[in-house]
Amino acid sequence: MSPAGALGRLRIGLSANVLDPDPDRRFYPRSHLVYAEDSMTRLFARHGALVFVVPLPDDAPAAPGLDEVVAELDAVVLTGGADIAPETYGEEPLRPEWAGQRTRDVYEIDLVRAALDAGKPVLGICRGHQLLNVALGGTLWQDIATQTGSDLGHRSQERYHHNRHDVSLVEGSALAALYPGRTRASVNSVHHQAIADVAPSLVVEATCPIDGVVEAVRLAGSAPGSDRWAVGVQWHPEFDAVADTEGALPPDALDATPIVEEFLAAARHARERRS
């Protein structure tokens, strides 16, 4: 049997990054753009999956809705990107620069609901980890340093994905089971928002040992064979997967492979249930 399996290659849908028209932008200044980062598409393609960007819905009568798009996919990834708008979780922005992208929030929340209702696994990465929490009823810190007093730099514009800190894996969690014998590991850190109130249906699977920031969550009961599977991680596994091929990761870095393989295993089980 080929790596793709008897039912063919898995079809993974990525939520779109969004750029509104900007006259100061040197490329496509008048265009509304949707896109995915190359490292994200490669992360799943290297495991044999077909990768697609899920378009924002169109209100034209003939345009497919998100539920129709999700029906053609095996799983959904909520990608990184701009801040989540505080209005999305019932707050006002504390600063103008934290206003976020409300349009994208609405699209991705609808995408989460369509995927979970259809029994399709959802993996949230960075912004996607936060969005998953908000979609299921949780809230965020608009800015970690301002609202929690933490002096750990969870984001550095200069270091970007080279900025790192440790995470502690929660003992007995499904995430910890993917890394036998490990209780701490190094991850990249490219965010200034973070989960505040954890959604009622999520369980925490990793935290930052320095300031307690929630670094990984899981929909309670999620396992590859369960009816509903959703996991969020605050770091970017795709950045480390690329850096690993370049020999640029520290020895204590958390390997992205087990997380990706569990997600794809959940997608295969979901497909098999429908076949």
d(CA 216, CA 137): 16
Q: Which of 104, 127, 98 is nearest to 34 (CA)?
A: 104
The residues that bridge with 232 in the sheet, in sequence order, are 124, 217
Q: Which residues are catalytic?
A: 126, 236, 238
Q: Find the angle CA(167)-CA(173)-CA(174) to the nearest 5 degrees.
A: 105
Strands 122-125 and 230-233: parallel
Q: Which long-range contacts (CB under 8 A, 24 or more apart) does 227-231 make?
A: 227/119, 227/273, 228/116, 228/119, 229/121, 229/122, 229/263, 229/266, 229/270, 230/112, 230/116, 230/121, 230/122, 230/123, 230/124, 230/132, 231/122, 231/123, 231/124, 231/175, 231/205, 231/259, 231/262, 231/263
d(CA 186, CA 255): 9
